[in-house]
Amino acid sequence: MTGAPPRGVARRSVLRGALAGGAALATGGLLGACGVRQDAPRIATDDRWRQFAGATINLISENTAPTAAIAANLRPFTDLTGINVNIVTLELSALVQKVALDLAGGESQYHVIYADPYQVLAPYSKGLVDLRELATQPGLPEFTGWDDFIPTQLDAAGRFGDRDKIFAVPYDCPTMIWQYRADLFDKYGARMADDLGFDPTPGLDRTWDEYLRIARWFNDNADEVAYGTGHQAKQHDSLMCDFSNVLWSYGGDYFDNGTEVGLYGTTDPGPCRLGSDQAIAAAEFYQRLLSIADPSSKTWDWNGLAPALSSGRIAMCVNWHEYAAANEKAMPGRFGYAPLPRGPVRSANHYGGCGIGINGNTQPNERMAAWLFVLWATSTQTQLANLKSEAGGGTPTRQSVYDLPEVRAAEHRPSAMPNILAAPAVVTAWQPENIGLRPKIPMWNECDTAVYTQLSKMLAGDSSPADTMRGAATKIDRITARGWAA
């Protein structure tokens, strides 16, 4: 979304930083011509990591924090394996097009694929390798780490349909949480509590209605900020992401069995449920919330919203957690992070993470070489290095990284790993009862467009919440009725 320069600073912006360690990076295609396909060489050696020394593998990725960090420091992988890596970075829509062509054409120009769950994994899982087969293949380094990945992330980013297969390893994990000016909450907390009649401290005890009241209080009483809240409500995927947190918290969803569809995916989700009373109530609340938010919210996606918070324009917002690094750079020590407020049913925190998988068209040796890269790129050691990287950042998808003493220490200021300051909030957000998962279906991209288009009409005053939700449901039913043939 799934979801963070990188996602830790700007969720989908261009990679920066020098590339080191033999990485070759292109923005549209690989360096050199493809030529006749030949399998990678394999060397007789007792070192399981170096049996494909001299091979070259190609990674295609969206511009994300882990890829930025890995591209800037590939030398450890090259030294370990002798394998060269080319990295192609693209915006997600362009990546999807190239991956679709590569898989459909029987090619393997890209060996390792950034597998967005909704635009790559769901429609093209049949073209990806079941990674469990490589994890148990004799002659390769032993892998026993499935249980180390955050369980909800492994399901949401790695599986589609068949729960026994894993097509991608969790690679990044942007998640929407409550980000706020802790210094202003400290300054005004007692006064807000007296005026509002409740403790305004952000967290799971707060409700969305209380969030709105806190935002309105800042509008009326605090000179330090222009508005209490801002939102990523541009006519864009960001609007669907922002609204979905409220939808799920109200007990609404896009389809029946929404959690199952979000975790495991399906090609036939059944009727859209956006016309339900719960979904309409969520839309009514969202309309009220946006009416008191910064008016520029309707022009912002996540990259527009983030600087509004970090520059001091708004007191709080809902955004991807990996913007913590940018917040801390702009105004060190002034921010706090918490799970999102509750609706009538629960707190729901939108997960936007993705995995990396392997092209099913790869030949035997290059497939194993690609697996070595996947192992290394998602290892505890590499995720820790990414967390510390100035070129990237990101946050880990393995529990073992969060358990390291130096990472636990970094959860408190002063922190050399500013994104980890959001760890307590996101660890709570990833719990099964709190995670928010959009539908993992092959046709989701079209459905997404239908949702944010209808919501934009509502926010412009051209449609009521009820008509908005029912209209979106009708459009989605037409999309899903066409089915999917990959």
The CATH number that applies at residue 88 is 3.40.190.10
> Among 7, 463, 440, 457, which Cα is nearest to 233's?
457
- Of 179-188, 355-364, 366-375, 475-484, the least confident: 475-484
Asked if residue 152 and residue 47 are part of one domain, the reply reads: yes
Residue 3 has pLDDT above 50, yes or no: no
The identity of residue 225, as a single letter, is: V
Does one domain contain both 131 and 248?
no
Considering 285, 317, 349, which residue would you say is the last residue of a domain? 349
Provide the pLDDT for residue 390: 82
pLDDT at residue number 171:
96
> Does residue 406 fall inside a structural domain?
no
pLDDT value at 71 more than 50: yes
What's the pTM? Answer: 0.91
How far apart (Å, rounded) are the C-alpha atoms in residues 148 and 399?
A: 6
Does 166 lie in the same domain as 270? Answer: no
Rg of the chain over all Cα atoms, to the nearest angstrom: 22
Same domain, 241 and 304: yes
- Domains of the chain: total: 2
**Mean pLDDT lowest among 26-30, 136-140, 476-480:** 26-30
Domain-located, residue 463: no
Maximum distance among all alpha carbons in the chain? 74
Residues 114, 237 within the same domain:
no
Tell me which of 349, 373, 392 is where a domain ends: 349
The whole-number average pLDDT for the span 53-70 is 94
Q: 8 or 408: which carries more pLDDT confidence?
A: 408
User: What amino acid is encoded at 374 in this protein?
Assistant: V
How confident is the model over 141-195, as pLDDT tens digits?
A: 988 789 999 999 999 999 999 899 999 999 999 999 999 999 999 999 999 999 9
Residue 458 pLDDT more than 90? yes
> Is residue 468, in this structure, part of any structural domain at all?
no
> Residue 426 falls within a domain, yes or no?
no
CB 390 within 8 A of CB 15: no
Work out the angle at residue 319's Cα, subtended by the Cα atoms of residues 96 and 123, and round it to the nearest 5 degrees: 20
Per-residue confidence (pLDDT) for residue 25, from 0 to 100: 47
Task: Return the amino acid letter for 465.
Answer: P
Mean pLDDT computed over every residue of the chain: 91
The confidence band for 36, taking pLDDT boundaries of 50, 70 and 90, is low
Domain span at residue 251 reads 176-349
User: Which residues lie below 8 Å from residue 283, measured CB to CB, with a gap of 6+?
Assistant: 243, 247, 455, 458, 465, 466, 468, 469
Predicted confidence band of residue 115 (pLDDT cuts 50, 70, 90): very high
End residue of a domain, out of 338, 370, 400: 400
**Alpha carbon of 19 to those of 23, 25, 40, 137: distances in Å?**
6, 8, 24, 32
Q: Residue 485: pLDDT band by 50, 70, 90 thresholds?
A: low
Residue type, position 393, single letter: G
Top pLDDT among 30 and 480 is at 480
What does the DSSP assignment read for 281-318? HHHHHHHHHHHHS-GGGGG--HHHHHHHHHTTSEEEEE
**Which pLDDT band, with edges at 50, 70 and 90, does 270 fall under?**
very high
Q: Is the pLDDT score of 19 beyond 60?
A: no
User: Torsion over CA of 280, 337, 190 and 296, rounded to 10 degrees?
Assistant: -50
What confidence tens digit (pLDDT) does each residue in 327-337 have? 999 999 999 99
Answer yes or no: do 336 and 369 share one domain.
Answer: no
413-447 pLDDT, tens per residue?
Answer: 999 899 999 999 999 999 999 999 999 999 999 99
> If you write DSSP's letter for every residue of 194-258 in order, what string do you get?
HHHSS----STT-BHHHHHHHHHHHHHH-SS-SEEEE---STTHHHHHHHHHHHHHTT--SBTTH
Per the domain annotation, does 445 fall within a domain?
no
Question: Quick one: what percent of the chain has pLDDT higher than 70?
Answer: 92
Contact 250, 278 (CB under 8 A): yes
Residues 166 and 310 in one domain: no
